[in-house]
């Protein structure tokens, strides 16, 4: 199992089965030079599972570019319609559909247009990927005692929270959960929204959980920032959405009145 957080690069003629096996092995996958075509992407990924509906469709007033795909970052749309799905600020490590009852097993993203990349490191919208296990291991090394208490809170405290805009049935279990094919005691899943610590601090009696989530997330962030991933056009990333967190560094949104053309499409699969 790769615990250094680096993505394993597979050839672009790899089968979905090869991807599933590598993911089972613990790896996060990157397939370079994948065709920039929504139908090809969905056709390839549907062998991994049934795609969950694009959540843009669950947001009133949002437009959907292709069925089952969620387009992020920025793109000049039709006149008068500029999509700004994500703010330019950093996205700290999180998991997809963390709030939802029906959670995707895999998370995939295809880089279409990376936008400006000539800023200092950590300011070009570089992608961040990290297995939660790597963060847990660092936390345990930092303090076994503190880790024991935090891990118990993460694994045992039931909690529910909502997405910012999407409204769908919510999950009411703990943020950490056992996996049927777990390899060791740190090989568990997490459902964590990027701003979860702040959300929890607004709830009654959730401060200890907020502290534990914050420790996990800041440790994951620090680890991911050591290895920011600069995605090239055509890089297709596929992750186990229980075991791996994803995020993104901040980026410049406009320059001389021009919008950063960066665009990335995502797909979720059960």
Q: Which residues pair with 9 in a beta bridge?
A: 30
Nearest residue relative to ligand AKG (C-beta): 248
Q: Do 173 and 75 form a contact (C-beta atoms < 8 A)? A: no
Q: Which is nearer to ligand AKG, 127 or 157 (CB)?
A: 127
Stated length of the chain:
270
Question: Smaller CB distance to ligand AKG: residue 73 or 191?
Answer: 73
CB of 231 to ligand AKG, least distance (A): 8
* Sole residue written with tokens 């700004």: 84
**Distance of alpha carbon 194 from alpha carbon 213, whole angstroms:** 10
- Measured from the CB atom, the residue of 157 and 267 that comes closer to ligand AKG is 267
Cβ nearer to ligand AKG, comparing 38 with 91: 91
Q: Shortest Cβ distance from residue 201 to ligand AKG (Å)?
A: 22
How many CA within 13 A on the CB side of residue 89?
4
Contact residues for 222 (Cβ-Cβ < 8 A; gap 6+):
none
Q: Which helix (H) or strand (E) holds 109?
A: strand 106-113
Q: Which is nearer to ligand AKG, 111 or 153 (CB)?
A: 111
CA-closest candidate to residue 104, choices 224, 270, 227: 270
Quote the least distance from Cβ 73 to ligand AKG, whole Å: 5
- The token duo for 259 is 């919008």
Among residues 191 and 246, whose Cβ is nearest to ligand AKG? 246
* Minimum CB–partner distance for residue 220 and ligand AKG (Å): 13
Q: Which residue has the tokens 């793109």?
A: 75
Between 72 and 223, CB nearer to ligand AKG = 72
For the bound state, the minimum distance from the C-beta of residue 125 to ligand AKG, rounded and expressed in Å, comes to 6
116 DSSP β-pair partners = none
Contact residues toward ligand AKG (CB under 6 A) are 72-73, 86, 91, 96, 127, 246, 248, 264, 266
Check if the beta carbon of residue 44 is closer than 8 Å to that of residue 108: no
Strands 28-31 and 7-9, sheet pairing: parallel
| Measured distance CA(107)–CA(15) in Å, rounded | 17
CB of 262 to ligand AKG, least distance (A): 8
Tell me the closest approach of the beta carbon of residue 126 to ligand AKG, in angstroms: 9
């Amino acid at each position: 199992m790769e615990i250094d957080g680096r993505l394993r690069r597979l050839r672009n003629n790899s089968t979905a089965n090869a991807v599933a096996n590598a993911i089972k092995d613990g790896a996060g996958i990157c397939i370079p030079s994948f065709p920039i075509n929504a139908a090809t992407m969905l056709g390839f990924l549907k062998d991994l599972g049934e795609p969950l509906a694009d959540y843009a469709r669950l947001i009133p007033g949002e437009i959907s570019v292709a069925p089952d795909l969620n387009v992020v970052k920025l793109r000049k749309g039709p006149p008068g319609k500029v999509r700004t799905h994500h703010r330019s600020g950093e996205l700290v490590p999180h998991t997809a559909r963390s709030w939802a009852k029906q959670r995707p097993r895999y998370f995939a993203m295809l880089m279409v247009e990376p936008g400006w990349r000539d800023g200092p490191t950590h300011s070009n919208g570089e992608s961040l990927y990290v297995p939660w296990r790597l963060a847990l291991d660092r936390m345990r090394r930092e303090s076994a005692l503190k880790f024991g208490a935090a891990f118990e809170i993460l694994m045992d405290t039931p909690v529910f929270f909502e997405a910012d805009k999407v409204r769908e049935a919510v999950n009411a279990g703990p943020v950490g959960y056992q996996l049927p094919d777990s390899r060791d005691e740190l090989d568990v899943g997490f459902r964590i929204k990027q701003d979860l610590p702040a959300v929890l601090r607004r709830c009654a009696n959730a401060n200890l959980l907020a502290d534990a989530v914050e420790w996990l997330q800041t440790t994951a962030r620090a680890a991911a920032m050591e290895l920011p991933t600069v995605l090239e056009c055509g890089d297709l990333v596929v992750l186990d959405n229980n075991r791996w967190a994803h995020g993104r560094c901040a980026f410049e949104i406009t320059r001389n009145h021009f919008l950063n053309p960066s665009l990335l499409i995502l797909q979720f699969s059960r």
